[in-house]
Amino acid sequence: MLPNRLPSDWQRYYAQHRTAIVTVVTGLLYAGGWTLGAVTDADLAGAGVLVVATVIGGYDIAKHGYYELRNRTLGIKTLVTVAAVGAIGIGAYWEAAAVVFLFSLGSYLEGRTMRKTRSALEELLELSPDTAIVRRDGSQVEVPAREVRDGEIVVVKPGGKIPVDGEVVDGESAVDQAPVTGESAPVHKTAGDDVFAGTINTDGALEVRTTGTGSDTTLQRIIRRVEEAQEAQSPAESLIDRFASYYTPAILVLSIGAFAATRDAMLALTLLVIGCPGALVIGPPVSIVSAIGNAARNGVLLKGGAHLETAGKIDLVAFDKTGTLTKDETAVVDVTGFDCDADQVLRLAAVAEKKSEHHLGDAILEAATDRDDTTSIAADGGEPSGSRRPSSDMRSDGGAVATNPMPAGSGSVPDPDEFDVIPGKGVVASHDGNEIVVGNRALLAAEAIAVPDDVGDYVRERESDGETAVHVVRNGTVVGIIALRDELRDAAPDVVRSVKDAGIRTVMLTGDNERTAEAVARAVGIDDYRAELLPEEKQAAIEAFRDGETAGKSGHVVAMVGDGINDAPSLATADVGIAMGAAGTDTAIETADMALMADDLSRIPDAISLSKATRWNITENVAIAVLTVGLLLAAVLGNVVHLAGGMLVHEGSVLLVILNGMRLLRH
C-alpha cells in the first residue's frame, strides 16, 4: 500500500517520479488495449485504449519535440512524435502505443542509469557531516556545520567526520583523507597540520581551528569543479552534436523519399524512428561523466572532457624535479669551508638568504639557526640533542667540515644590509662591510668570480651524489660550499617505470645543475633530462616538445607534472598540466587541467590509463551506435524489421552504450 501522504507530498512524489509513473501507466494501458483487441471482439474499445496510452505516454515527448522545433533543431523526440501521430493517422494504433511506451521506458532507464553514472558526485556530497561540535563560551555546542565561523574551534571525536577545513590546534590522530586526496592510508595529523571537511578522524580526538565552512571548503570546490567538468563538452561530443544536426534532417528526408517511392507509410515511419542517432549522441557524455566521477573518487580532479580526451593521447610526460620527483623537504647535509670555518660559512650564507623566499634559502637559514641553538645549549653546559656532531671538523685538505646540522625554528641571524635576488641563480647581499654571494655556478660566472680547482672538484663530487652544491663567496673569494639534499619520493621510480611501460617518453626539467639532474634522472629511470633551466626555459622546452623540435619529426602530446604554482608557465603551456598536492591550494584547483589532490605520484599512471580507456570507450560506443543504426536501416529497407521491433532494438542500443560507458566507473 502506498504511504498516506498530504497532497503536497503527492505532488512532490509525482514530480520526482513523473517519468516512471507515466511509463507504468502507458505500459498498463498498452497491455490492456492490446488484450482487448486480441482476445475480445472489442476492437474499437481496444483502439481507444491504445490511443489513450499513446497520448499519455507521448505528451512529454511531443512537448519536448515542440521545444526542439522552437529552437530550430530536429531531435529524436520530434521524430518519435511524428512517427506516433503518423501511426495513429494510418490506423496503426498498436504500433503508435508501442513506440511511445518503448521510448518512455527507454528514457526512464536512461535517466536512472545516468543518475547512477553521476553517483560518484553524490558520494562526495554525502561526505560532509551536517553538524559540528564547536567550543563556545567554554562549552561544547552542536551547530549546523555551515554556521561554524572562521576561527572557531571544532571538536572532532574519534571515528567522526571532520565538518570543516581547518588547522589542528590540539590532539593527534590518523585521518583518512581518501575522500578528498585519494590517499590509500590514513595520514598522521598533529598540531599545525591542515585537515579537510569530509575526511574521517580514525582514532584520537582533534581540536581544529576553522578556516573554511559550507561552500568554502576544499571538498565543495572539488564538487563544483567536477560538476563543471561533467557539463563541459569534449571534442568528441561537439563533433557528434554537429554531425547529428545534419544527420537527423537527412533521416527525415530519407523517410519522405521512401514514402514517395513506395507509398508505404509504415516503412517511412519506421525509418524515422530507428534512424534516430540516440545512442550516438548519448554515448560519449556517459563515458566522460563516468571517467571524471571515477577520477574524483580517487583524488584526481579533471577539468573537463576535453582535457580527459587529450590526456588519452599523451606520449611524453615532463616531470619537474623539486617537489614532484622529490619530497621538497630540502635539508643541509654538509657545510665545507675553504680557508674558513664551516660555521662562519653557514652563517654568512644564512645572512644573505635571510630575506630570500627560495626553498634552498629556507633550508640554509634553518640549519644556521639550529646551529646557534646547539651552540647556545653547549655553552650553558648542556649536551646537544640527538645525533648532532660537533660544530666543525677539519677536512684533510685544510677545509673545515660540518655535517648534518638539524633544522630548528629559532636563531639570531642578522638581516643583510643590502639584498638582491638573481632569479634561478642565487642571491647577492652585503653585511657588515662584506659582499656575500650565495648561489650556483652560473651566478659566480655572471659575477666574474673564480672557482679554485679544489672547490670545483669538491662541488662535482657532491653533485655526482645527487646533492645541490651552493657556493658561498665573501668579497669575491669562495669561502665554502653548502651541500643540500632533497630525498626522492619512494614512489618515483615505480611511477616513471609505469609511465614508460605505457609507451610514454619521460623527461625531467629542473633548474638544478647538470650532475645533480643526471644523478636524479638515473635514480628514477627518466629517459631524458634538461638541467639548469630557468622557469621560462622550462616553458620553452615544453613548447619545443610540442612542436617536435626535439623529436625531429612530429610533435608530442605533452603532460607537465609540477607543483601548480612555481611551474605555472610550463603547466599552462603543456597540452595537459598536472598539478601535485592541489588539496587546499585554490590556484592549483582552479588552473590545472588535471590536479592530484595529494602528493601521490602513483595517481599519474592511473589517470593516464583512465584517459586512454575513456578514448577507447567512446570509440566503442560510437561503433555500437553506428553499427546498430546501419543494420536497422538495412533491415527496415529489406522489410525485415518493423516499427515496434525497430524501436525496441534502438532503445536497447541506447542502454547498451550507457552500460558500456558506466564500466569506466570501475576502471
Distance from C-alpha of 557 to C-alpha of 503, rounded to nearest angstrom:
13
pLDDT (0 to 100) of residue 78: 84
Name the grid cell of 50: 491504445
Of 441, 464, 487, the last residue of a domain is 487
Structural domain boundaries, residue 138: 130-216
Query: In terms of domains, do 199 and 115 share one?
Result: no
Residues 455 and 472 in one domain: yes
156 HSE (CA, 13 A, CB side): 38
**Which of 391, 504, 516 shows the shortest CA–CA distance to 463?**
516
Quick one: CA torsion of 158, 159, 161, 167, rounded to 10 degrees?
Answer: 30
Domain boundary (451, 467, 487) is at: 487
Establish whether 320 is a catalytic residue.
yes
Residue 1 lies inside a defined structural domain of this protein: no
HEC-encoded secondary structure of 191-256 = CCCEECCCCEECCCCEEEEEEECCCCCHHHHHHHHHHHHHHCCCHHHHHHHHHHHHHHHHHHHHHH
Q: Which three cell numbers stand for residue 441?
A: 655556478
Instruction: Provide the pLDDT for residue 389.
Output: 32
Any idea what the CATH number is for the domain that residue 456 is in? Answer: 3.40.1110.10
Give the pLDDT of residue 505.
Answer: 93
Are 185 and 256 in the same domain?
Answer: no
Which residues of the chain have a pLDDT value below 70? 1-7, 41-42, 113-114, 116-127, 178-179, 181-185, 229-233, 372-411, 549-554, 564-566, 581-591
CA 609 from centroid of its chain's CA atoms:
13
343 and 422 co-located in one domain: yes
Give pairs for 252-258: CB < 8 Å, separation 24+: 252/74, 252/79, 258/637
Q: What number of residues does the chain have?
A: 667
- Grid look-up 660550499 returns 481
Which sign, positive or negative, has the C-alpha torsion 559, 565, 568, 572? positive
Residue type, 276: C
Looking at the domain assignment, is residue 87 inside a domain? yes
530 falls within a domain? no
Segment 308-327, tens digit of pLDDT: 888 889 999 999 888 788 88
Cα(575)–Cα(307) distance, integer angstroms: 8
pLDDT confidence of residue 97? 87
Q: What are 293's three cell numbers?
A: 566521477
On whether residue 386 sits in a domain, the answer given is no
Whether 184 and 178 have beta carbons less than 8 Å apart is answered as yes
Residues 115 and 41 reside in one and the same domain: yes
C-alpha cell at 175: 585521518
* Amino acid 557: pLDDT: 92
Same domain membership, residue 209 and residue 332:
no
- In a domain? residue 66: yes
Q: What is the pLDDT of residues 435-476, one digit of tens each?
A: 999 998 888 998 899 999 999 999 988 888 878 889 999 999
Which helix H or strand E contains 507, and what residues bound it? strand 505-509
**Cβ–Cβ under 8 Å, residues 87 and 98:** no
Cell numbers for 597: 589532490
**Do 109 and 255 fall within a single domain?**
yes
Domains of the chain: total = 3
Task: Please pick, among 320, 341, 599, 600, the residue that the annotation labels catalytic.
Answer: 320
Is 187 among the domain residues?
yes
CA dihedral 560, 566, 570, 575 (to 10 degrees): 50
Looking up cell 621538497 gives 328
Q: Say if residues 313 and 427 touch (Cβ distance below 8 Å).
A: no
> Which grid cell sits at 604?
599519474
Q: 16 with 147, same domain?
A: no
Looking at the fold, whether 109 and 246 belong to one and the same domain comes out as yes
What's at 123, amino acid-wise? Answer: E
Residue 544 inside a domain? The answer is no
Give percent of the chain with pLDDT exceeding 90.
Answer: 21
Clarify whether residues 188 and 265 are in a common domain: no
Would residue 344 count as lying in a domain?
yes
Mark whether 365 and 477 lie in a shared domain.
yes
Question: How high is the pLDDT of residue 317?
Answer: 94
- Residue 243 sits in the same domain as residue 99: yes
State CA 236 to chain mean position distance: 20
Q: Among 174, 190, 216, give the residue marking a domain's end.
A: 216
Which CATH number fits the domain that encloses residue 151? Answer: 2.70.150.10
